[in-house]
Amino acid sequence: MGNEATKPGKAEKVLSWFSLESRYRRIARFYPALITVALLLPLAIMLGIPLSGWLIAMSAGGGLAIGAAAVAHLSHFASAAGNRVQAKLYPKWPHDSPTNLRLHPVDGGASRQKKEKWYAAIQRLTGLDIASVAGDPEEVRRVINDAVAELRTRVFAGNKLAERLDMHNADFGMMRNFAGLRPVWLLTSCASCAGCWVTYAFQHDHVALPVVATALFVGCVFAALVIEDYVRVTGRHYADSFFGALDACDEECIAKAKKKAAAQARPSGRAVAGKVENADNRACSEKEPPDHSNGV
């Protein structure tokens, strides 16, 4: 029984090392590392290294294969390098992230009416009042950051209404980390291209592989030129999904509050409109903890 209890922990540690234990880490960490190493496949085939062995080792993310080990280490390096890219694109992170910035009172990315709607929704869902501190620049940044963090970890976590947000969060992480690995995948694609042509010069066989390696290298050069701009695009997509989830969760919260107020008023034989309206602002912040799993 004791050994059985330790097995899940060991397996979880192995999956964690290879960045496979969660959907976010698979997409944001493992996939950029996998793509980086996979760029060496044309050269590996030219040198006679079995393609099937490489694919199995890398897709499994384990074993003693050199490819899998490289992917495992690169997945952790990708996260660190991605954070450097994030710091470059958003030097005041998280305050200048697309989500936080759009909530700031002085930002012109959304209309005043839309922001007032978001502020009211955030106050209902978290109890934090952004509008009340609009005159204090430092405090408003702190309140916005607290509100965004609480929405992500308490309201959106495991909520079906926020599934699209999880997808765009993983997309942003993947592109950010892939941008961080830019020097590595430029090097691997260049090495694969040069190695394929050198091998072809001696063997005069499999000309398609040097051509493929060249195409991959050219694609990587182009990607290197535009990758940072695309990271910004994925960040804006995440912000769009964030506020879509905020609106959806707020509408659900208001509907539940009205339903609860109506149910309480029904035994007395009358439904008081004022009671229902006031319940909108109370029930959402005083509601029972949502049945959500822990988020990312």
Let me know if residue 293 belongs to a domain. Answer: no
Let me know if residue 295 belongs to a domain. Answer: no
Kindly report, residue by residue over 260-278, the tens digit of the pLDDT: 888 887 755 444 445 545 5
Tell whether 149 and 169 lie within a shared domain: no
Among the three residues 123, 155, 187, which one is the final residue of a domain in this structure? 155
Is 60 exceeded by the pLDDT of residue 105? yes
Tell whether 78 and 179 lie within a shared domain: yes
Tell whether 135 and 175 lie within a shared domain: no
Residue 178 lies in domain:
15-89+161-239
pLDDT of residue 2: 39
pLDDT of residue 59: 52
Tell whether 79 and 137 lie within a shared domain: no
Average pLDDT, the chain: 81
Let me know if residue 291 belongs to a domain. Answer: no
Tell whether 34 and 64 lie within a shared domain: yes
Tell whether 168 and 132 lie within a shared domain: no
Average pLDDT over every residue of 106-131: 93
Look up tokens 């496949």; give the residue: 41
Average pLDDT over every residue of 135-152: 94
pLDDT of residue 21: 59
Average pLDDT over every residue of 18-39: 81
Tell whether 143 and 126 lie within a shared domain: yes
Tell whether 150 and 21 lie within a shared domain: no
Tell whether 35 and 80 lie within a shared domain: yes
Instruction: Give the global pTM.
Output: 0.76
pLDDT of residue 248: 92
Let me know if residue 224 belongs to a domain. Answer: yes
Domain count for the chain: 2
Tell whether 73 and 104 lie within a shared domain: no
Average pLDDT over every residue of 123-147: 94
Let me know if residue 3 belongs to a domain. Answer: no
Query: How far, in Å, CA of 108 to CA of 296, rounded?
Result: 29
